[in-house]
Amino acid sequence: MTKNMKTLFYGGVKNGKSRLAEEYTLKLSTGTPIYLATTEFIDDEMAIKIAEHKKLRTTKFTTIEEPLNLYDRIKDETTPILIECVSMWLNNMLFHKRSETEIYSEIEKLLSSDKSIVFVLNDVSRSVVSENALVREFVDISGRLSQLIASKCDEVYSVSAGLTQRLK
């Protein structure tokens, strides 16, 4: 992976983005890449999902768990970084009442960094408009983040049913 390479894996929930992004990151790394896990332990179901993900990546990655301050946690890293996932990170930011300005600022720092980063982001835009204001805010910001990240990434992959299509 060339220095400062940015890649996005984007698609629906449970369509294989994480697995494909992990494989991609491992192929491009000469050492042990960083797995930046953003999901917080919020309930038993989430704890099970986190445990399953940990089991799958075993010793292939160095795991860093960080729900909010992504750039600060990786600013000194030199190996490729997989951010899994931007959607859960956005959820955390909104849950912890971080402003939209703070959200975009954090993403901009990652995109402009001298780090090789692989982003995973859920496509949540293909649904009906929710009556819940927080859900609408999440979907709106997620859509704008997907556009921002995709515009600044060197490569963008759409993932559906475990298959990838390179968009950029």
Q: Is 53 a catalytic residue?
A: yes
List, in sequence order, every residue forming a beta bridge with 120; answer none if it has no partner. Answer: 9
Identity of the residue numbered 21: A
Sheet holding 62-65, edge to edge: 62-65, 34-37, 81-84, 117-122, 6-11, 155-160, 163-166
Angle between helices 17-28 and 44-57 (to 10 degrees): 30
Give me the catalytic one of 19, 53, 60, 73. 53
**3-class secondary structure, 158:** strand
**Residues with catalytic function:** 53
